[in-house]
Structure 1
Amino acid sequence: MDSKRPVSVLTDGDMAMRKAIQKVFPSAKHHLCNWHMHRNAKRNVRVDGFEGHFKHLMDLDANEVVFEEAWSKMVRKYGLQNNKWVSDTYNNKGMWAQSYLRGHFFAGMKSSQRCEGMHAFFNEHLKRKLKLFEFVRCFDMALYRLRNKEADAEAKTDNSDSCLTTALQPLEKDAATIFTRRLFLMFRNEIIEEALLIFDGRKEEFDHRIYKFSKYTEFGSTWEVSYHPTTSIMKCSCKKFEFFGLP
């Protein structure tokens, strides 16, 4: 990997893996798989309503203060002040709560589904009792299919033009030359969502400006975008660009 270490690691809750990651990749942000966390909540706390409430807090896209208040309310509501699993899970909140993982790059992934999907893909081509030479041949065929799909996506991107449909066509056109078609459609959806934002004013700071926004369909939710004119750097309080990698 050109001597580069991963900045993010996503696994299930295996303790041996946790220790190994802390030792080998001490600077990486370790994210526990949402699917496994949800399953563990269902298995360890058999209280009606808790499972769904826990999942809501796990995906809560808010700052740490809002999360802490919501967590305290949930624990009191279900009477789980003395539940060991709940206490241990809370102590590891920095590894699974979206509120504490915001701003760290995970390409939008919250579970090990991508890895499991790859396992399923290879299972279609590999059988348990293959001879070694048969395994190598089948494995090569599977890799060929993956590379062919990637090449097909790149060819479609390089040799076709997207239909520009939004009001921000210069921005949309530039994005079409950078992203593959699939990612471009996701980016264009962000432009469409932008039309729902309401500008609530701005304030001038020493070296930057802060713009405030709210959303037409989500009353009470507000975001701040800081813009530095000298460097053209923009940052939003939602931190989705840092987490997902897509503006």
Structure 2
Amino acid sequence: MKKLPEKLLGYTKYKEIKHGVKQLVYESSNAEDFENRWAKFIEKYDLELNEWLYTLYEERRRWVPCYLKCHFWAGMSTTQRSEGMNAFFDGFMNSTTTLQQFVAQYDNALRSKAEKECEADFASTNTTLPSGSQSFIERQFQDEYTHAKFGEVQNELRCKMNCNIKSVEVHGCKAKYIVKEALIWKDQSADKFNEVIFDLMTKDIECTCRLFEFRGVLCRHNLIVLA
């Protein structure tokens, strides 16, 4: 999320507004939800004439997660890409590294990265992570995914226990499921609802959380429908 300019917003409102922006950005499930939350937020703090926030809103499709979840980003946000780059060079260079040293160490970093990837591929090909259940779905992912990605699938399978189907509507060849997920937010229970669409003919499935589109992993909401 882009950093809020404290000087433009004023010190007294800065902390509260920053928390409000963070909440509506990361908790909005879709574009319509974000639009409604943003309108209420702007009205609440009387920020209609704030030029910086207006510019931020105009660029919302470039940085707000709910607009990006339909595209595959391997689950990486802007900050994660930056952190990933720092980790990539960690141990090979620092603030005192000269330009000549940088060129040599860059090659060393690339070589080390390639070796680790080869080792991970070898481990995924020649070893098998144990299944945590008797699910045929889990076994399919166990055969097809790398260890790291299979670990993400297993996490979704574990979290499936916090979900239950609240309602089902069938229209033609498509079924719409409303899935309730029990969460804990600030030490209090908080329920979240997601909509899952399942095509009875093609067997295609999609969820409003867009985890599969964003990370390449079936979400807990899809899994409970498929179970």
**Same fold (TM > 0.5):** yes
Please name the residue that 1:237 is paired with. Answer: 208
CA distance in 2 between partners of 1:88 and 1:60 (Å): 21
Please name the residue that 2:98 is paired with. Answer: 129
Task: Give the RMSD, CA atoms, in angstroms.
Answer: 2.4
Matched, 1:91 2:58: yes
Where does the alignment leave 5 or more consecutive residues of structure 1 unmatched? 1-33
Where does the alignment leave 5 or more consecutive residues of structure 2 unmatched? 184-188, 219-227
Question: Percent identity among equivalent residues?
Answer: 26
Please name the residue that 2:132 is paired with. Answer: 165
Matched, 1:214 2:167: no
CA distance in 1 between partners of 2:215 and 2:150 (Å): 14
Q: 1:123 to 1:152 in 2, by over 3 A?
A: closer
**What secondary structure is seen at the aligned counterpart in 2 of 1:103?**
coil
Matched, 1:148 2:123: no
What does the per-residue CA deviation read over 1:22-42, in whole Å, with 9 as the maximum and x for residues that have no partner? xxxxxxxxxxxx2xx0x2444
CA distance in 2 between partners of 1:167 and 1:44 (Å): 56
Please name the residue that 2:143 is paired with. Answer: 177
Please name the residue that 2:9 is paired with. Answer: 45
TM-score, normalisation: structure 1: 0.73
TM-score, normalisation: structure 2: 0.79
Assess if the C-alpha contact under 8 Å between 2:166 and 2:180 holds in 1: yes
In terms of fraction of residues, the more helix-rich structure is 2
Please name the residue that 1:59 is paired with. Answer: 26
Assess if the C-alpha contact under 8 Å between 2:182 and 2:192 holds in 1: no
Q: How many residues align?
A: 208
CA distance in 1 between partners of 2:70 and 2:99 (Å): 45
**What secondary structure is seen at the aligned counterpart in 2 of 1:49?**
helix
**Quick check: 144-153 or 92-101, which moved more?**
92-101
Assess if the C-alpha contact under 8 Å between 1:211 and 1:225 holds in 2: yes
CA distance in 2 between partners of 1:102 and 1:201 (Å): 25
Assess if the C-alpha contact under 8 Å between 2:25 and 2:34 holds in 1: no
Question: 1:107 is aligned with what amino acid?
Answer: A
